[in-house]
A and B are shown apart, each in its own frame.
Chain A
Amino acid sequence: MLTFSLLSIVMVVGAIGVITLKQPVHAALSLVGTLLTLAVTYVTLQAHFLATIQVIVYAGAIMVLFLFVIMLLNIQGEEREDTFVWMRPVAYGVALLAAAGITIGAFQNASPLPNPIMIARALGGGGAEQVGGALFTDFILAFQLVGILLLTGIIGAVSLVQRKAEEAVEAQRQVAIAAAPSRKEGGVAVLERDDKPDRSAKPTPKPTLPPKKEPPKADASPKVQPPREAVTELKSKPKEKGEAQKQGGEADAQSKVDDAEKKSSAKSKAKEDKSKEASKPKESKADDLKRIKGVGPKLEKLLNRNGITSFEQIANLNAKEIEELDSKLESFQGRIERDNWLEQAQELAEEKKNG
Chain B
Amino acid sequence: MTDIVSWTVLAPFIALAGAVINGLFGRNLKEPLPGWIASGAVGIGFFLSLLAYFGLLFREEKTVHIPLWSYLSAGNFDLNLGFTVDTLSITMMLIITGVGLLIHIYSIAYMHGDAGFSRYFSNLNLFIAAMLILVMADSYFLMFIGWEGVGVCSFLLIGFWYSDKLNADAARKAFIVNRIGDVGFLLAMFLTFKQFGTLNIATVNEAAGGLIAVSGAVTVIGLLYLLAACGKSAQLPLHVWLPDAMAGPTPVSALIHAATMVTAGVYLVARSAPLFALSPAASTVVAWVGALTALLAAFSALAQTDIKKILAYSTISQLGYMFVAVGCGAYWVGIFHVFTHAFFKALLFLSSGSVIHALGGEQDVRKMGGLGKHMKVTGTTSLVATLAIAGVPFLSGFFSKDAILAHAFNSQLNPGIGNYILYGVLLVTAVLTAFYMFRWYYTVFAGEERMTDEVKTHVHESPRLMTIPLVILAFFSIFAGYFGLPEFAFPNAFAHWIEASTEAPVSFAHPALWLEWLLIGLSVGAAGVGLLAGFWVYHLRNGEPAKNWGETSWAALSRGGLGFDAIYRSVFIRGSENAATSFRSVDTNLIDKGISSGFSGVGFLARAVTLLQTGFVRSYAFTMFVGVALFIIVVAFGGGFK
Is there a chain A Cβ closer than 8 Å to B605's Cβ?
A: no
The DSSP consensus for interface residues of chain B is helix
Contacts of A197 in B (CB 8 A): none
Does B635 make an interface contact (CB < 8 A)? Answer: yes
Judge whether A104 is part of the interface by a CB distance below 8 angstroms: yes
Q: Tell me the complex Cα distance, A101–B630, Å.
A: 9
Q: Which of B626, B640, B641 contacts A94 (CB 8 A)?
A: B626
In the complex, whether A118 has a CB less than 8 A from a CB of chain B is: no
Task: Check if A98 is an interface residue, CB within 8 A of chain B.
Answer: yes
Q: Which residue of B lies closest to A94 (CB)?
A: B629
Q: Per-residue CB proximity of B599-642 to A under 8 Å, as 1/0?
A: 00000000000000000101100100110110011011100111
Given contacts A83-B616, A106-B641, contact A95 B636 (CB under 8 A): no
Are A108 and B640 closer than 8 Å at their CB atoms? yes
- The reply to whether A87 and B622 contact each other, CB–CB distance below 8 Å, is yes
9 closest A-B pairs by beta carbon, nearest first, are A101-B636, A105-B636, A98-B629, A101-B633, A105-B641, A94-B629, A101-B632, A98-B632, A109-B640
Interface mask (B462-490 → A, CB under 8 Å = 1, otherwise 0): 00000000000000000000000000000
Q: How far is the CA of A98 from the CA of B634 in the complex (A)?
A: 9
In the complex, how many angstroms separate the beta carbon of A102 from the nearest chain B beta carbon? 6
> Apart from A84-B618, A94-B629, A102-B632, what 13 extra A-B contacts exist at CB < 8 Å?
A84-B619, A84-B622, A87-B618, A87-B619, A87-B622, A94-B626, A95-B629, A101-B629, A101-B637, A105-B635, A105-B637, A105-B640, A108-B640
Assess the A91–B625 pair: CB atoms within 8 A. yes
Q: Give the chain B neighbours of A73 by CB distance below 8 A.
A: none
In the complex, A71 has a CB within 8 A of chain B: no
Residue contact B641 to A109, C-beta cutoff 8 Å: yes
Contact B637 A98 (CB under 8 A): no
For window 78-105 of chain A, which residues contact chain B by CB distance below 8 Å?
A: 83-84, 87, 90-91, 94-95, 97-98, 100-102, 104-105
Q: Which residues of A contact B (CB under 8 A)?
A: 83-84, 87, 90-91, 94-95, 97-98, 100-102, 104-106, 108-109
Contacts of A100 in B (CB 8 A): 633, 636
- B: residues with CB less than 8 A from A are 616, 618-619, 622, 625-626, 628-629, 632-633, 635-637, 640-642
5 contacts between A and B (CB under 8 A): A98-B633, A100-B633, A104-B637, A106-B641, A109-B640
B641 touches A91 (CB 8 A): no
Q: Are A98 and B635 closer than 8 Å at their CB atoms?
A: no
Residues of B within 8 A of A83 (CB): 616
Minimum distance in angstroms from A111 CB to a CB of chain B: 11
Contact of A101 with B618 in the complex, beta carbons under 8 Å: no
**Shortest beta-carbon distance from A263 to chain B in Å:** 9
B625 / chain A contacts, CB cutoff of 8 Å: 91, 94-95
For A106, the chain B residues whose CB sits under 8 A away are 641
Tell me the bound Cα distance from A90 to B626 in angstroms.
Answer: 9
B641 CB contacts on chain A under 8 angstroms: 105-106, 109
In the assembled complex, the Cα of A95 lies from the Cα of B628 at a distance in Å of 10
Which chain B residues border A87 with CB–CB below 8 Å? Answer: 618-619, 622
Alpha-carbon distance A75/B632, docked complex (angstroms): 35
Q: Which residues on the A side are within 8 Å of B640 (C-beta)?
A: 105, 108-109
A83–B616 alpha-carbon span in the complex (Å): 10
Assembly CA distance A101 to B636 (angstroms): 5
C-alpha spacing A108/B639, complex, angstroms:
10
> Which residues on B sit within 8 Å (CB–CB) of A108?
640
Q: Which residue of B lies closest to A106 (CB)?
A: B641
Closest chain A residue to B618 by CB distance?
Answer: A84
Taken together as a complex, chains A and B put the C-alpha atoms of A100 and B633 apart, in Å, by 8
What separation, in Å, do the CA atoms of A101 and B634 have in the docked complex?
A: 8
Most chain B beta-carbon neighbours within 10 Å: one of A83, A84, A95, A105 = A105
Identity of the chain B residue whose Cβ is nearest the Cβ of A101 in the assembled complex:
B636
Q: B618 → chain A, closest Cβ, in Å?
A: 7
Output the least CB separation between B491 and chain A (Å).
104
CB contact between B616 and one of A84, A94, A104, A105 (< 8 Å): that residue: A84
**Minimum distance in angstroms from B276 CB to a CB of chain A:** 84
In chain A, what residue has the closest Cβ to B627? A94
Closest residue on chain B to residue A93 by CB atoms: B629
Greatest chain A CB density within 10 A among B618, B619, B629 is at B629
Which residues of A sit under 8 angstroms from B637, Cβ to Cβ?
A: 101, 104-105
| Measured CA separation A98–B631 after assembly (Å) | 9
- With beta carbons under 8 angstroms apart, the residue of B629, B632, B633, B642 that contacts A109 is B642
* A95-B636 Cα distance, complex, nearest whole Å: 14
Q: For the complex, what is the distance from the CA of A106 to the CA of B628, rounded to whole Å? A: 17
Q: How far is the CA of A339 from the CA of B103 in the complex (A)?
A: 81
Q: Which residue of B lies closest to A103 (CB)?
A: B636
A98: which B residues are within 8 A, CB to CB? 628-629, 632-633
In the bound complex, residues from chain B placing their C-beta under 8 Å from that of A84 are 616, 618-619, 622
Give which listed residue, B619, B635, B642, contacts A101 with CB less than 8 A: B635
A104–B640 alpha-carbon span in the complex (Å): 8
Chain B minimum-CB-distance residue to A263: B615
Q: A84-B618, A108-B640, A109-B641 are in contact. Are A97 and B629 (CB under 8 A)?
A: yes
A105 vs B616: C-alpha distance when bound (angstroms):
33
A102 partner, pick from B619, B622, B626, B636, beta carbons under 8 A: B636
B622 contacts across to A, CB distance below 8 A: 84, 87, 90-91
**Complex CA distance for A83 and B622, rounded to whole angstroms:** 13
> Hey, which chain A residues are within 8 Å of B642, CB to CB?
109
Q: How far is the CB of B156 from chain A (nearest CB, A)?
A: 60
Nearest CB in chain B: distance from A262 CB, A: 11
A196 vs B629: C-alpha distance when bound (angstroms): 50
The docked-state distance in angstroms from the alpha carbon of A232 to that of B628 is 54
Chain A residue nearest to B641 in the complex (CB):
A105
* Residues in A whose Cβ lies below 8 Å from that of B618: 84, 87
Q: A82's closest neighbor in chain B, by CB?
A: B618
Q: Nearest-CB distance from A273 to chain B (Å)? A: 24
A257 smallest CB distance to B (angstroms): 23
Q: Which residues of A contact B626 (CB under 8 A)?
A: 90, 94
For residue B629, which residues in chain A have a CB less than 8 angstroms away from its CB? Answer: 94-95, 97-98, 101
B611 CB → nearest A CB, Å: 12
Given A87-B622, A109-B640, residue A97 in contact with residue B633 (CB < 8 A): yes
Chain B contacts for A97, CB-based, 8 A: 629, 633
Cα A296 to Cα B616 in complex, Å, equals: 19
Q: How far is the CA of A100 from the CA of B642 in the complex (A)?
A: 17
On chain A, the residues within 8 Å of B636 by CB distance are 100-102, 104-105
In angstroms, how far is the closest chain A Cβ from the Cβ of B138?
A: 79
Beta-carbon nearest neighbor of B639 in chain A? A105
Q: In whole angstroms, what is the CA distance A102 to B641 when docked?
A: 9
Residues on the B chain within 8 Å of A101, using CB: 629, 632-633, 635-637
